[in-house]
Amino acid sequence: MTDEGLDEKIVLRSDGTAVYMTQDIGTARQRFIDYPKLNGIIYTVGNEQDYHFKVLFLILKKLGYAWAQNCYHLSYGMVDLPSGKMKSREGTVVDADDLMDEVIAKAKEMTQERGHIDGMDETEKENLYRMIGLGGLKYYLLKVDPKKRMLFDPAESVDLNGNTGPFIQYAHARIASLLRKADEIGLADDSVSIEDSERELIKHLAHYPVVVKEAGAEYSPALLANYTYDLVKHYNSFYQSVSIFKEDDLAKRNLRLVLSMNVGKVIKSSMSLLGIEVPERM
């Protein structure tokens, strides 16, 4: 690798046994054999392995694999907890199952305190706790630029206020409740005069496809997460500034219902792209 400005790299020990690099070369090659239509691989691995993947991709190119130029290391910063960095040698590694159990338990506690789950059976309640807990966990991790080191606070991740998953999930549930109350939703009339809050919401909705494209091109789920958070803030501003069911003008009422419906669709779509479910009730 010296001709490329890198150090020498062992790919096989003198006794013929493999090292990590050997295995990664073989695995990459096998993936393209198993999936002939594959046009690239994204390795989601911490930034402590930046040099390893730089060397791996260079070796694959030197071996003549054209697809090597489409291999990408999605390098992310380390995650700290309030108690400090997770260190395997010091026994402070956090088990993923334990962390998920913790955020689900906190989501259960938060939801029971609010008391908006009357009429749900136990299975529905447990599914909701899990949806909120895992949604909070995933969103909290994904809203931060992948390259940045971050502090993960389990309690804050399921808070209903601020830039959190449950804040967005609650907005979707509220919209779903609003639409259930509507007898029917007529077509929106584009000749209706609109308020500033409605105009801003429409502009933000229209930007969604651009954000999805940018997030994919830049390998950054954070762009999508924060777009959705901003969308919910725009919707909340709209919801507080206009009336829907008390609006006498049917055309305006329909417009506001259609707007709400489309915000709900975008929230569900964007959260789905992040691997997060949204509830119909919460």
Amino acid making up residue 247: E
What is the rounded distance in angstroms from the CA atom of residue 26 to the CA atom of residue 5? 24
Q: Where are the domains of the chain?
A: 2-76, 95-273
Per-residue model confidence as pLDDT tens digits over 117-126: 888 899 999 9
**C-alpha pair distances (Å), 57 with each of 70, 137, 250:** 9, 32, 60
pLDDT at residue 219, rounded to an integer? 92
- Which residue type sits at 254? N
Query: Do 175 and 238 form a contact (C-beta atoms < 8 A)?
Result: no
pTM for this predicted structure? 0.84
What pLDDT shows up at residue 206? 97
SS (H, E, C) 186-220: CCCCCCCCCCHHHHHHHHHHHCHHHHHHHHHHCCC
Q: Are strands 79-81 and 41-46 parallel, antiparallel or unpaired?
A: unpaired
Structure tokens belonging to residue 41: 């691989």
Dihedral of the alpha carbons of 110, 114, 117, 122, in degrees to the nearest 10: 40
Q: Which two tokens stand for residue 82?
A: 């309030």
Quick check: 225 and 208 in contact, CB under 8 A?
Answer: no
pLDDT of residue 193: 87
Q: Does domain 95-273 have CATH number 1.10.730.10?
A: yes
| Residue 16: predicted pLDDT | 92
Residue 145 exposed, middle or buried by CB count within 10 Å (0-12, 13-18, 19+): middle
User: For residue 24, which of 12, 14, 34, 35 has the smallest C-alpha distance?
Assistant: 12
Confidence (pLDDT) at 236: 96
Cross-strand partners of 84: 81
What tens-digit pLDDT sequence spans the chain (282 residues)? 888 888 888 889 999 999 999 999 999 999 999 999 988 899 999 899 999 999 999 999 999 999 999 999 999 888 877 765 555 555 566 678 888 998 999 999 888 888 778 888 999 999 999 999 999 999 999 999 888 888 888 888 999 899 999 999 999 999 999 999 987 777 767 778 899 999 999 999 999 999 999 999 999 999 999 999 999 999 999 999 999 999 888 889 999 999 999 999 999 999 999 999 999 998
